[in-house]
A and B are shown apart, each in its own frame.
Chain A
Amino acid sequence: MSEEKDKQPLCAGRRETLKKLIAAPVLGAMAYGVYKKMQYDRSRRSVGELFRLDAPPQAREFDPEGNPVRIGLVGYGIRGKLLMRALGFAEPSRIDTLKEAALLNSRDRRYADYMEQESLNVTVTAVCDIFDTYAEEAVVAGSNIYREGTGGRMGPAPKRYRTYRELIAAEDVDAVIIATPDHWHGTIAMEAALAGKHVYLEKPATWTVPETYMLREVIKKTGVVFSLGHQGRQTDSYIRAKQIVDKGILGHVSLIEVCTNRNDPNGAWVYPIHETASPSTIDWKQFEGDPARIREYMDYMTSHGLARYVGPEARGQFSLERFFRWRCWWDYSTGLSGDLLTHEYDAVNQIMGCGIPHSATSSGGVYFFKDGRTVPDVLQTTFEFPDRDLTMLYSATLASERDRGKVFMGHDASMEVSSSLIVKADPASTRYAEQIKSGLIKPDMPIMTYVPGQEGVDAVTSATELYFAQRGLLYSYVNGRRYSTTYLHLREWVDCIRHGGTPSCDVDAAFEEAIAAHMGTRAWLEGRTMYWDRDKEEIVRG
C-alpha cells in the first residue's frame, strides 16, 4: 500500500505529461493524411505527364524601333472604330466613357488597360469614309495621339479623303487598313497592294469568287505585307489547342462542331441608323460598289437562277437601311458565311490545318428576322474533309443565345475551345482505357484545362480558375498583362511591315477562308453540294 502511495505521484506526473503531449497523435494523423494526399496528387500528376505539352510557341516579339508606319484607314464604321482603338487612337468620347466607368467601378480595368497598351509606333495620316459624320469622327480619333478625353490635347489631324483611291495614292500612306462593307474588300485590297501599300483587310477576304483568285495573285506578285483580320489567330487557347491536337491527345478527330448563337437586333445586323445620315452626307455612288465586282456578282446570280436574291431594291436607289444594315443583303454582304462562319472556320483551320474543304452543303433560311433581308438568319453548313476523315459542322442562329461550344470530338477525348480549353477523356477511349479502368482518369472530369495566361496546362483542374476563365474574368495581374487580340493581330502586321516576316493570317490562309465561305454560300443559294477541285482550284457543282 505504501509502495503504491509512493508510486502515485509518479503515475500522475506521467499522466500529466501525456496530457500535455496530446497533440502528438493528432499531428501524427495530420502527417499521415498529408502524406496520403501528396501520394494521390502525385498519381494525378502522373496522369498529367501523359498530357505534358511543350512550351507554347513564343509570340513574335514586338520591336517598335524604326520609322513610324503611316496608316490610312478606309471605313470608320463599327469595325473601323474598334480597329482604330486597338491601334491606340480612340475617339475622345470613348476615353470619357472608359474613365467614367473606371470611376464608378474600381474593378473596371478597361481604361487602365487602354492607357497601358504599348504604342505601336504608327501614325494615322489618312482616313476615308463615304459618310461625312464617320469621316469627321475618324479625323478626330486619328488626332487623339495622347489618348485624352473630350477637350484634351490633340495631335496633327489625319487628312480626310473622299475616295479610297485618293487615299491609296497619298504619298504619306505606307499601309492601308480596310474595314468597309464586304463588297469592297477585295477591290480596295488589290488596288492598295498594286500601289505598293501594305494591307490589313477585315474578313471575309472577298465578296465574289473570281476576285478571290485575283487578290491572291496580286498580293503574291506585289509582295506587300498582307494580313486578314482574323484576330483569333492570336488567341492563346487556340495556339494551345493546336498543340493538343498535334500531340494526338484527342485521338482521331472525326467531327468538329462550331456555332454562332446571337439573339438581338444588333447581332442580327439591324444596326442603328445615324441621325445625320442623308443623301447629302453619304456618297451613295461610291457605296454601290466597283463595277467589275458587281458584274461578277450579277453574272453568277443571273446565270444560276438566283435573281430572286438580288436587290430587291435597285442598286442605284439610295437607302439608309441598306447603307447601315448592308450585311442583310447579298448585294453587299456575304451573310453568315462571310461574317461569322469565317471566324469559326479560320479557328479550325488554324488548329487542324485542314485547308479548303472537299465539299460543302448548307441549309437554313430567313426564319426570324423577316425584315426584307435576303441573307438567311439560320444557317447550317457542313464541310467534309475526307482526306482527314473529318466533318466540320457549322450551325448558326441569330434568334437564340443558347450557348454551344466549339467542340473537337476525338475517339480518345473531346476538347471544348473557348477563351479557355477543356479536354475530357471519352468513356470508350482506347488510348486511355487502362487509366479509366484504374480510376486515374474520370471521363466526366476534365483531364486537361488551360486557362490563358497561366504558365502551363493543368492536369488537375482548379475550379476557381476555370470559373474565372469561362467568364473571361481572369485578371491580368495574376499571370502578366492581358491584351486585346485585335491589338495583337494589328501589332503582328505592323511588326512584319517594319522588320519583315509573314503575318499568321496571310494571303494563303485568306484564300482558304474565302473559298470555304463561298462554297458554303453557294451551297445555300443553289441548294446543292459544292465541291472543291483541288487540282484545278475550282468550285465544282455536285
Chain B
Amino acid sequence: MQTYSKIQTFWLVALRMAIGWHFLYEGIAKALSPKWTAAGYLMDSQGWFASMFRWMAGSETTLGIVDFCNEWGLVLIGLGLIAGCMARAASIGGIVLLGFYFLSHPPFIGSESMFMLPREGSYMWIDRNLIEIAALALLYVFPTSRRFGLDGYIFKKKNNV
C-alpha cells in the first residue's frame, strides 16, 4: 500500500466502491422484488455451458438455490467491497458470479441473434461482465481494504499492506 501514490490509491478505492455499489444494488433490487427469478435468464443461455444453466432452471430446488445464492451473493460481495471487509474474498466471489453470467451469455459473433432477452449494447468477445471481472482481478492484486476498510481491523496483526 505504501507504494501507491495518492492518486493511485484514490482511483483504486473509487473503483472498489463503484463495483461494490453495482453489486450491492443489484442484489438489493433482486431481494426486494418478490417475483424476481433467474429462470428466464438461465433458460436464455447459449454457448458451451447452456445445457448446464438450463438444468439449473429446470427444477424448483436448483432454481431456488440459484436465486438465493445470486441475490445474497450479490449483496454480500457488494458490502464486502464497499466496507473493505474480506475484500479480496469478495473480489473472488464477484469474479465467480460474473464468470457464470459471462459463460451463460457469451458475446460470440452471431450469438446475439440467438438470445431472446433484449441485450443492452453491442459486444464482440469482450462484454461488460468480462471487463468487470478484469477490474475485480485488478482490485485483488492491488488491495486497498486494509487502510481504507474494515480489513484493517480484521487483519490487524499482519499490517504489512
Query: Which residues on A are within 8 Å of B, measured CB to CB?
Result: 16, 19-23, 26-27, 30, 33-34, 37-38, 106-107, 454-455, 462-465, 467-468, 471, 473, 475, 477-478
Identify the closest chain B residue to A463 (Cβ). Answer: B118
- The secondary structure that dominates the B interface is helix
Assuming the contacts A26-B21, A464-B117, A471-B116, asked whether A20 and B153 have C-beta atoms less than 8 A apart, the reply is yes
Chain B residues with CB below 8 A from A477, complex form: 39, 57-58, 60
Q: Return 30 A-B CB contacts under 8 Å, by A number.
A: A16-B147, A19-B147, A19-B148, A20-B148, A20-B152, A22-B17, A22-B84, A23-B82, A23-B83, A23-B84, A26-B17, A27-B79, A30-B24, A30-B25, A30-B82, A37-B29, A106-B54, A107-B43, A455-B35, A462-B35, A464-B40, A464-B118, A465-B40, A467-B118, A473-B116, A475-B39, A475-B43, A477-B60, A478-B37, A478-B40
Assuming the contacts A27-B82, A33-B25, A475-B40, asked whether A20 and B118 have C-beta atoms less than 8 A apart, the reply is no
Chain A residues with CB below 8 A from B77, complex form: none
Sample of 18 more A-B contacts, CB < 8 Å, known A38-B32, A478-B37: A16-B147, A16-B152, A19-B148, A20-B150, A20-B152, A20-B153, A21-B150, A23-B149, A26-B21, A27-B82, A30-B21, A33-B25, A463-B118, A464-B40, A464-B117, A468-B40, A468-B116, A475-B40
Chain A residues with CB below 8 A from B79, complex form: 27
CB distance from A542 to the nearest CB of B (A): 50
Within 128-161 of B, Cβ neighbours of A (below 8 Å) are at 147-150, 152-153
Chain B residues with CB below 8 A from A464, complex form: 40, 117-118
Q: Considering residues A22, A26, A34, A37, which has the most beta carbons from chain B within 10 angstroms of its beta carbon?
A: A22
Within 25-46 of B, Cβ neighbours of A (below 8 Å) are at 25, 28-29, 32, 35, 37, 39-40, 43
CB distance from B59 to the nearest CB of A (A): 8
Q: How far is the CA of A106 from the CA of B53 in the complex (A)?
A: 12
Q: How far is the CA of A467 from the CA of B41 in the complex (A)?
A: 12
Assuming the contacts A20-B152, A22-B84, asked whether A34 and B28 have C-beta atoms less than 8 A apart, the reply is yes
Cβ contact within 8 Å between A20 and B149 = yes
Chain A residues with CB below 8 A from B32, complex form: 34, 38
Chain A residues with CB below 8 A from B152, complex form: 16, 19-20
Number of A-B contacts (CB under 8 A): 72
- The secondary structure that dominates the A interface is helix
Cβ contact within 8 Å between A27 and B83 = yes
Q: How far is the CA of A107 from the CA of B40 in the complex (A)?
A: 12
Q: How far is the CA of A463 from the CA of B40 in the complex (A)?
A: 12
CB distance from A383 to the nearest CB of B (A): 37
Identify the closest chain B residue to A474 (Cβ). Answer: B40
Chain A residues with CB below 8 A from B17, complex form: 22-23, 26
Quick check: is B95 within 8 A (CB to CB) of the other chain? no
Identify the closest chain A residue to B29 (Cβ). Answer: A37
Chain B residues with CB below 8 A from A38, complex form: 32
CB distance from A420 to the nearest CB of B (A): 14
Identify the closest chain A residue to B116 (Cβ). Answer: A473
Q: How far is the CA of A473 from the CA of B116 in the complex (A)?
A: 9
Q: How far is the CA of A21 from the CA of B58 in the complex (A)?
A: 43
Quick check: is B8 within 8 A (CB to CB) of the other chain? no
CB distance from B146 to the nearest CB of A (A): 8
Cβ contact within 8 Å between B83 and A107 = no
Quick check: is B51 within 8 A (CB to CB) of the other chain? yes
Cβ contact within 8 Å between B82 and A467 = no
Assuming the contacts A20-B84, A26-B82, A30-B24, asked whether A467 and B117 have C-beta atoms less than 8 A apart, the reply is yes
Q: Considering residues B13, B17, B35, B149, which has the most beta carbons from chain A within 10 angstroms of its beta carbon?
A: B35
